[in-house]
A and B are shown apart, each in its own frame.
Chain A
Amino acid sequence: MKGYKEIPEGGNIIIPGSSMDYKTGLWKDKYPVRNIKKCTNCLICFSFCPENCIKVVKGKIQDADLKYCKGCGICAKECPFKAIHMEAGCFIK
């Protein structure tokens, strides 16, 4: 983390597109764990994730991107096959 002498004035952001560097996943205290055996790739978690951090690659659900996942638990709650559960911790990978 930078000190007050190193940051731009007034909290300005002077590097375009740098929001990707802000790892909001640091905010969470729980993270989702997916059981691949139970997962049917139904895409419910993908469509419910408010952070858009669950991606789909060639029709297959990927694990949540923990750099941005805030641990809300909506994916675990909505999964019809109980393939996702939440565990304590703040992993950002």
Chain B
Amino acid sequence: MNVLNGAESAAYAMKQINPDVVAAYPITPQTEIMMKFAEFVANKEVGTKMVLVESEHSAMSAVVGASAGGVRAMTASSSAGLAYMFEVLGIASGLRLPIVMNIANRALSGPINIHCDHSDSMNCKDSGWIQLYSEDSQEVYDNTIIGVKLAEKLHLPLMVMQDGFITSHCLQNIELIKDKTVSDFVGAYNPETNLLNINKPITIGPLQLPDYLFETKRQQAEAMSLVEKEFNSVCREYEKITGRKYGVIEEYHSRDAKQVIVVLNSAAGTVKTVVNELRKNGKKVGLVKVKLFRPFPYEAVNKALSGAESVVVLDRSESFGANPPLYSEISNSLHNTSVKLSSVVFGLGGRDLFETDIKTIFENMISNKKQDKYVGVRE
């Protein structure tokens, strides 16, 4: 057992994965990840070439270049930094480069704020990247290792989310696996083609007009459709070496539950505590935590939730003028059921979500009362 915060566990996973190139630019709360990783580089504990660039746009461009050159490349970011990368995110996924990036979720400006919500990663949910959300340090560590293998299998980039400060800066007990086990699990990265192989010259990223771009995008959609099955198989392999069982969603006392909450990331831990407490009083409540948000596991969610009487979806980001992102997807998953579904937005800009808030939500569900659309905001 080790004690690491979320940022350190991301950095430790990166150390064991031993990427060839890491390019990064600091931004709170991601800085902690790269600070720790830079320490590993300085102490020669990894063979990584670390590129300290002048912006996130350059960081993502540098890892795109490295990945196109045929090596394993990683980076990390948060909030405005991720937004500044946005243009290059589409290039990474469009060119099918399996870059893995850790994100410490932080509210997007403005007004400027450094604390957690999911407005940054939700902003790029449709950029062609696989998105894995992590509840705690352990999941950050495991998702990063699983993520590298998954990304490289399907030639798709992948981002691993953790809640800024809440997860990234809080010390937690975590089980690490041996360096050799990790390197055997992820294996060596040997892409079939790369830009630097002069014996097999290729062009990457040439112009594609109306005659071919549609086919390339169709191909990308096809690769995304394979993710769920491949993720499950990588998780089964990971379970064999760690004993930790993961799936596209986590069902916590939800199988026989009448009232279920759906949430991403660290808030799932708080919901679990409340579920335990209410279960002791005989209430049939449960939690479904979505781990794989892109591609979205519609069928698994439908199966997990269609037996419930009512479901509340907690979103830590707002889609102004529309349904929030997680609620939208859950609603799509349950369109053919009679489940009573409501949306609750919480925690914007790092506002805490308390156990009492969750208890009230469950009680409202049980007594069939209308839910407040926003929890924790002052009227």
Chain A residues within CB distance 8 Å of chain B? 1-5, 7, 9-14, 16
Contacts and interface: CB of A to CB of B under 8 A. Distances in A.
Contacts of A4: 215-216, 218-219, 222
Nearest to B220: A10
Given A3-B215, A4-B218, A11 B208 contact: yes
A2 B212 CA distance: 8
Nearest to B222: A4
Given A7-B219, A10-B96, A10-B216, A1 B206 contact: no
B216 A2 contact: no
Contact of A9 (B96, B203, B208, B213): B96
B204 A7 contact: no
A39 to B, nearest CB: 34
Nearest to B206: A13
B284 interface: no
A23 to B, nearest CB: 11
B95 interface: yes
20 contacts: A1-B211, A1-B212, A2-B215, A4-B215, A4-B218, A4-B219, A7-B212, A9-B219, A10-B94, A10-B95, A10-B97, A10-B155, A11-B208, A11-B213, A11-B216, A12-B193, A12-B204, A14-B202, A16-B201, A16-B202
A12 B67 CA distance: 14
Contacts, number: 47
Interface of B: 94-97, 155, 193, 200-206, 208, 211-213, 215-216, 218-219, 222
A69 to B, nearest CB: 17
A33 to B, nearest CB: 27
Nearest to A1: B211
Contacts of B97: 10
Contacts of B200: 14
Nearest to A2: B215
A16 B97 CA distance: 21
A82 B362 CA distance: 85
Contacts of A7: 212, 215-216, 219
Nearest to B94: A10
Summarize B's interface: helix, strand, loop or mixed.
Answer: loop
B202 A12 contact: yes
Contacts of A1: 211-212
Contacts of A9: 96, 155, 219
B254 to A, nearest CB: 38
Nearest to A26: B211
A12 B194 CA distance: 10
Contact of B94 (A2, A11, A14, A16): A11
Contacts of A5: 219
Contact of A13 (B155, B203, B211, B218): B203
A55 to B, nearest CB: 25
A91 B203 CA distance: 29
A11 B218 contact: no
Nearest to B155: A9
Interface centre among A1, A5, A14 (most CB of B within 10 A): A14
Contacts of A12: 95, 193, 202-204, 206
A61 to B, nearest CB: 30
Contacts of B203: 12-13
Pick from B155, B200, B213, B216 the residue with the most CB of A within 10 Å. B216
Contact of B193 (A2, A3, A14): A14
A10 B67 CA distance: 13
